[in-house]
């Protein structure tokens, strides 16, 4: 069964939050969407009121859940520093929560608490176990322990994650092909139908290397149009990222700080070495450069531009609810 809810208990609030952040990052690195739930801050001793309030909260989460994401909560069961009620009251609360969240196949992780006696730890884990959770008692809250737990969750959700990433790669490919068409057509039209007649064919420009001025201008304009097209559609439909758009666009353009000089050197170099093929030399140089760009740009957008923001926009959540 796919684990779609992870609840972290024990330890301090900071340690739980750090563990939740680590697990969330590991899941996102493996293409699994994550929704962080707010920590439980109401530590009222009135467990009857707390039980009713949290029951409504969990029902709302389950009913409106994104079925492609894993929800991560910390301190949602035992609280943080609150005095625990009698065992029968607490077990009733835990079993009620387990029953409500059952559609999410929850996994509970108990982290060791500094200074906690073995008796207290045993009591808490025994009570959690009575609710028949998928309970893991971690050896520690360090990254090594969290890495093992995250790997188990990734494995349970792996099939859907692989399928999602394959579809993401397909969408990126389709948008990149359309962006490539825009780049190729705009560059060719600008160079062959306009610039070749407006600018002296022998005019040269020096940028990284000496090259025909009309080639440099055509490549620059075509690349700019391609980047804008690719970024806009991939952000919204491929990576479904609710990121800061100006910052994301800045990161997208930073990719071309090294790549644009490479392109300005590579395309004229290929064109020069294939002069015997006429205008085909330029087409071959531009086409192969676009293939290199495709592979590197996908990696850059996946792991830099939209890192930690994949599947977070409204479209991603709406898609998840429909599944």
* pLDDT for the residue numbered 1: 64
Residues of the chain with pLDDT under 70: 1, 39-47, 79-83, 158-162, 242-243, 312, 314-323
Residue 82, phi then psi, degrees to nearest 5: -75, 150
Are 187 and 214 in contact by the 8 Å Cβ rule? The answer is: no
* pLDDT for the residue numbered 322: 44
* pLDDT for the residue numbered 42: 57
Pick from 225, 214, 217: nearest CA to 180: 225
Strand partners, 34: 70
CATH class of 5-156: alpha beta
Q: Residues spanned by CATH 3.40.50.11230 within the chain?
A: 5-156
What's the pTM?
0.53
Interatomic CA distance for residues 263 and 226, integer angstroms: 14
* pLDDT for the residue numbered 82: 55
Query: What is the CB-side half-sphere exposure of residue 57 using CA atoms within 13 A?
Result: 14
């Amino acid at each position: 069964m796919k684990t779609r809810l992870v609840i972290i208990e024990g330890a301090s609030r900071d340690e739980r939050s750090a563990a939740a952040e680590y697990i969330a990052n590991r899941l996102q690195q493996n293409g699994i969407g994550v929704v962080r739930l707010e920590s439980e801050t109401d530590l009222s001793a009135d467990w009857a009121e707390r039980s009713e309030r949290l029951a409504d909260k969990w029902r709302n989460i389950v009913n409106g859940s994104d079925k492609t994401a894993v929800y991560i909560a910390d301190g949602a069961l035992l609280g943080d520093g609150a005095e625990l009620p009698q065992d029968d009251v607490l077990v009733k609360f835990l079993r009620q929560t387990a029953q409500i969240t059952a559609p999410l196949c929850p996994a509970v992780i108990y982290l060791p608490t500094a200074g906690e006696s073995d008796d207290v730890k045993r009591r808490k884990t025994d009570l959690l176990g009575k609710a028949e959770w998928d309970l893991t008692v971690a050896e520690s809250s360090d990254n090594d322990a969290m890495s093992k737990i995250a790997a188990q969750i990734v494995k349970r959700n792996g099939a859907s994650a692989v399928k999602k990433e394959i579809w993401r790669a397909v969408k990126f490919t389709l948008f990149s092909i359309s962006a490539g068409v825009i780049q190729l057509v705009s560059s060719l039209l600008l160079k062959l139908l306009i610039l070749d007649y407006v600018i002296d064919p022998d005019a040269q420009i020096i940028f990284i290397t000496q090259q025909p001025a009309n080639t440099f201008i055509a490549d620059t304009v075509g690349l700019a149009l391609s980047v804008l097209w690719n970024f806009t559609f991939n952000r919204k439909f491929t990576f479904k990222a609710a990121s800061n758009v100006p910052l994301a666009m800045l990161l997208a353009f930073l990719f071309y700080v090294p790549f644009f000089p490479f392109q300005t050197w590579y395309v004229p170099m290929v064109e020069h070495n294939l002069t015997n093929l006429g205008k085909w030399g330029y087409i071959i140089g531009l086409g192969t450069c676009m293939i290199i760009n495709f592979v590197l740009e996908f990696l850059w957008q996946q792991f830099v531009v939209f890192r930690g923001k994949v599947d977070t926009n409204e479209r991603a959540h709406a898609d998840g609810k429909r599944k």
